Amino acid sequence: MAALTLPSLIANHKKNVILKQLKKSYSAMSQALTNSVAENGDMDNWDMVNGLALGTPEYKEALKEFVQTHILKYVSVSKDCGLANSEKCEKADDDDLWTGGETYYFFTGDGVRYQISLNNNRNSDGVLISKAQILILVDVNGLKKPNKIGNDIFVISVKKNKIGMFTYGNGYDYAYNNCKNGNAYECGYLIQTNSWNYPKNYPR
């Protein structure tokens, strides 16, 4: 019987470690943004990448300046990798973190990987309609596998001065179906909504 239950115990321990680190990482990023607002003023006045085309040199420079000014100063950075296509830091194989130069990549002292992008909000005609949304991918166990969104990578969103786990805003059932059927960006939202625990029948 012990041999049968040991794998379950190990799996449950790993899940608990991930949950604990996710909550800790979310809290650290929330506090960092709070401290940044206190020093740099309201987010509505932050200089983001609005109107700049994704991937252009102008966008990349604006992203770099934004992260270094508004985020890096307020977290415990152990490795500053810069734009994600640089060779400054080791990458993981078969990795769900974005690898293009449209994101900024760093590690904190507890081994967590973060990747930040600024997502311009445009309507169907391509017209800018609101300030850029900050998307923060958090790999709670660093380079350790599986490096998959919804398993050990989760997405934080900062929009209109509010931080939360990423959601499209269509409700819990919609988020659950997305998490289950391949669009794992909302999986962290399910965990946050369930008081930072895996909901019943968590699909990942």
Instruction: Tokens for 83, please give them.
Output: 């734009």
Instruction: Tokens for 44, please give them.
Output: 């509505």
Nearest-5° angle of CA 72, CA 94, CA 56? 50
Let me know how long the chain is: 204
Strand partners, 104: 83, 116
Distance in angstroms (rounded) separating the CA atoms of residues 173 and 83:
35
Per-residue pLDDT of the chain in tens (204 residues, 90 and over written 9): 445 587 788 788 889 999 999 999 999 999 999 999 999 998 888 877 766 777 788 888 888 999 999 999 999 999 999 987 777 787 776 677 766 668 899 999 999 999 998 876 555 565 555 567 899 999 999 989 999 999 999 999 998 788 999 999 999 999 999 999 988 999 999 999 999 999 999 998
Residue 68: how many other CB atoms lie within 10 Å: 14
- Is this structure's pTM higher than 0.75? yes
Instruction: Tokens for 103, please give them.
Output: 């994101």
Distance in angstroms (rounded) separating the CA atoms of residues 101 and 1:
51
